[in-house]
């Protein structure tokens, strides 16, 4: 039996054949198992000698089965590796790579320009209350200035909307028409001096065309401290022009009305490559009534007034306008159409 079994194990061609041999000799009804059961019928001395021989045979078969199993597993692995071999010298398959949206690219560039000047970027909610979007910015209800912002009003009041310090805010809800509410929120929770940027998405109920969209992005800046003047404002916009268009660019201010600044101005940058002025946004000195509204809100929260005797300037510009210029996009609607042929052009831009 030993010679026959060892020969069969050595010649087993695969793991299934080896499994069958294990069952033939060592299984419950195997040949060796039957011999072990027959020991009970033998005399004691003969049983002892034969039992030792059978145990030795069992150990020899188990060792032979284990060694052959390892050999067959190694052969199977080598065969599989040979069949699945890859030629690493061939070029790999190119995977689709995504990229940042052109609006995100432009917004990040603007933020980095002002961050180098000491500004900190802050963000606020897109669903806003009437108080922060209008009232605190010197645009009270029924004031004609509200006609400048075609507003998406939401049903219900602002229950659950949090204020700058986590307090509950009540009042009519809307989709913010500009990022200026974040200026008020920041002033309530902080004391001057500071320089902040408020980038983000805004909403206005407007007719869409090649240069106008109901959803667009703004970037606003606010600087507050002692002795802040229009000269500081012009310096900030000048640095923006230099960073965007180079040393030959310049800045132009024209008087304009905005309810939350006094005096107010429309600013334009000289675009040397295009040889023309680009009107980018509005700016001005923060209106004293805005500071008064902030201090009144702070006092309701039990905080001391912080904006008496300080001045500040604010500015805001549209991100899409610059992105259209920077990337040669002729229609603002391309940014939000979701067409891959348009967006794939920017996947390698950083």
* C-alpha Rg value of the chain to the nearest Å: 40
* 86 Cβ contact list (under 8 Å, min separation 6): none
Give the active site residue among 12, 136, 251, 261: 261
Q: Is 178 a catalytic residue?
A: yes
Put the strands of the sheet holding 127-129 in their side by side order.
127-129, 172-175, 152-157
SS3 (DSSP) at 312: strand
Helix (H, G, I), strand (E, B) or coil at 49: helix
* Catalytic annotation present for 254: no
Residue with tokens 């009305």: 257
Instruction: Reduce the DSSP state of residue 16 to 3 states and report it.
Output: helix
Catalytic residue among 184, 198, 218, 286: 218
126-151 pLDDT, tens digit each: 999 999 999 999 998 887 777 777 88
The set of residues, in sequence order, having a beta carbon less than 8 Å from that of 265 and lying 6+ positions away, is 230, 253, 254, 255, 256, 282, 283, 284
Q: How far apart are CA 142 and CA 130, in angstroms?
A: 12
Catalytic entry in 172, 178, 185, 287: 178
Q: Any catalytic annotation for residue 153?
A: no
Output the pLDDT for position 30: 83
User: Structure tokens of 258?
Assistant: 């905005």
Q: Catalytic: 277?
A: no
Closest CA to 237 of 283, 178, 195, 289: 283
The number of residues in the chain equals 350
In the set 68, 149, 290, 293, the catalytic residue is 149
Distance (Å, rounded) from C-alpha 132 to C-alpha 130?
6
pLDDT value for 142:
83
In angstroms, rounded to a whole number, what is the distance separating the alpha carbons of residues 141 and 134?
Answer: 8
Residue 159's pLDDT is what?
Answer: 66
Task: Exactly one of 172, 176, 185, 204 is catalytic; name it.
Answer: 204
List 314, 319, 323, 329, catalytic entry? 314
Active-site residue flag, 34: no
Distance CA 334, CA 220 (A): 24
Nearest to 9 by CA among 74, 71, 77, 79: 71
Residues of the chain with pLDDT under 70: 87, 96, 158-159, 348-350
Q: Burial level of 15, CB count in 10 A (0-12/13-18/19+)? A: middle
3 a catalytic residue? no
pLDDT value of residue 242: 96
């Amino acid at each position: 039996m030993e010679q026959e079994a060892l020969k069969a194990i050595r010649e087993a061609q695969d793991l299934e054949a080896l499994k069958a041999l294990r069952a033939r000799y060592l299984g419950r009804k195997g040949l060796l198992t039957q011999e072990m059961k027959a020991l009970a019928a033998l005399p004691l001395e003969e049983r002892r000698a034969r039992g030792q021989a059978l145990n030795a045979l069992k150990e020899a078969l188990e060792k032979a089965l284990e060694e052959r199993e390892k050999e067959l597993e190694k052969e199977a692995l080598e065969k599989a590796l040979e069949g699945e071999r890859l030629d690493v010298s061939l070029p790999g398959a190119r995977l689709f790579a995504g990229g940042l949206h052109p609006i995100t690219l432009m917004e990040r560039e603007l933020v980095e320009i002002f961050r180098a000047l000491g500004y900190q970027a802050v963000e606020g909610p897109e669903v806003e209350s009437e108080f922060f979007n209008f009232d605190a910015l010197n645009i009270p209800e029924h004031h004609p200035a509200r006609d400048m912002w075609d507003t998406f009003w939401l049903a219900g009041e602002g229950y659950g909307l949090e204020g700058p310090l986590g307090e509950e805010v009540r009042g009519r809800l809307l989709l913010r028409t500009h990022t200026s509410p974040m200026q008020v929120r920041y002033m309530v929770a902080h004391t001057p001096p500071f320089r902040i940027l408020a980038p983000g998405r805004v909403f206005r109920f407007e007719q869409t065309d090649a240069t106008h969209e109901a959803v667009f992005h703004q970037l606003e800046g606010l600087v507050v401290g002692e002795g802040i003047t229009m000269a500081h404002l012009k310096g900030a916009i000048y640095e923006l022009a230099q960073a965007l268009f180079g040393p030959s660019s310049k800045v132009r201010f024209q008087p304009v009305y905005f309810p939350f600044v006094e005096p107010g101005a429309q600013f334009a940058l000289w675009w040397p490559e295009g040889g023309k002025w680009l009107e980018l946004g509005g700016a001005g000195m923060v209106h004293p009534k805005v500071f008064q509204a902030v201090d009144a809100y702070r006092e309701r929260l039990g905080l001391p007034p912080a904006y008496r005797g300080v001045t500040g300037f604010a500015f805001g510009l549209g991100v899409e306008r610059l992105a259209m210029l920077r990337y040669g996009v002729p229609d603002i609607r391309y940014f939000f159409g979701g067409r891959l042929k348009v967006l794939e052009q920017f996947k390698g831009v950083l």
